[in-house]
Amino acid sequence: MSSQTQVKNITLTALQRIKREGGKFSCLTAYDACFARILSAAGVEVLLVGDSLGMVLQGHDSTLPVTMDDMIYHVGCVKRGNLGSLIMADLPFMSYASESQTLENAAALMRAGAHMVKLEGGAWIANTTRLLAERGIPVCAHMGLTPQSVNRIGGFHVQGRDTDQAQLILEEASMLQESGANILLLECVPQSLAKTITDALKIPVVGIGAGPDTTGQIMVLHDVLGISPITPKFVKNFLQDSDNGIPGAIEAYVKAVRSKTFPAQEHSFN
Ligand code: KIV
pLDDT of residue 182: 98
> Is the distance from the beta carbon of residue 208 to the nearest atom of ligand 1 less than 6 Å?
yes
Query: Chain-wide mean pLDDT for the chain?
Result: 96
pLDDT at 171 over 80: yes
Sign of the dihedral through C-alpha 154, 158, 161, 166: positive
Position in ligand 1 atom list of the atom nearest CA 147: 8
- Please report the pLDDT score of residue 7 as a whole number: 61
**Is 186 close to ligand 1, i.e. is its CB under 6 Å away?**
no
Structure confidence by residue, pLDDT tens digits, 71-94? 999 999 999 999 999 999 999 999
Residue 8: its pLDDT value, please?
Answer: 75
CA distance 201 to 228: 33
Closest C-alpha to 218, from 52, 20, 5, 66: 52
Task: For 148-188, give the DSSP string.
Answer: GGHHHHTSS-----SHHHHHHHHHHHHHHHHTT-SEEEEES
pLDDT over 80 (residue 209): yes
Average pLDDT of the residues in 149-168:
96
Given ligand 1 and candidates 56, 159, 187, which is best to mutate, with the most ligand atoms within 8 Å of its CB? 187
Q: If you take atom 4 of ligand 1, which residue's CA is the nearest one?
A: 50
Q: What's the chain's Rg over C-alpha atoms?
A: 17
Tell how far the Cα of 102 is from the centroid of ligand 1, in angstroms: 19
**178 an active-site residue?**
no
pLDDT score for 230: 87
The catalytic residue among 120, 187, 251, 266 is 187
Q: Indicate the DSSP class of residue 70.
A: H
Range with lowest mean pLDDT among 2-6, 33-37, 94-98, 191-195: 2-6
pLDDT surpasses 60 at 2: no
Question: Across the strands, what pairs with 26?
Answer: 217
Q: What is the pTM of this model?
A: 0.97
User: Is 50 exceeded by the pLDDT of residue 48?
Assistant: yes
Q: What is the pLDDT of residue 1?
A: 36
CA–centroid distance, 4 to ligand 1, in Å, is: 25
Q: What's the rounded mean pLDDT across residues 38-64?
A: 98
Per-residue pLDDT at 131:
98
Q: Is 38 helix (H, G, I), strand (E, B) or coil?
A: helix
Distance 52 CA to ligand 1 centre (A): 5
Q: Average pLDDT of 98-118?
A: 98
CA angle 50, 73, 67 (to 5 degrees): 65
Question: How do residues 224-250 score in pLDDT, each as one tens digit?
Answer: 999 999 899 999 999 999 999 999 999
Q: Under a CB-based contact definition with an 8 Å cutoff, are residues 109 and 137 in contact?
A: no
Which pLDDT value is given to residue 104?
98
Please check the confidence at residue 6 and state whether its pLDDT lies above 70.
no
**pLDDT at 3 (0 to 100):** 45
Could you give the percent of the chain with pLDDT greater than 90? 96
Cα dihedral 50, 56, 58, 62 sign: positive
Task: Spell 222-250 as b/e; 16+ CB within 10 A means b.
Answer: bbbbeebeeeeebbbebbeebeeebbbbb
CA of 152 to the centre of ligand 1 (A): 18
Predicted confidence (pLDDT) at residue 186 exceeds the cutoff of 80: yes
What average pLDDT score do residues 48-56 get? 98
| 268 in contact with ligand 1, CB cutoff 6 A | no
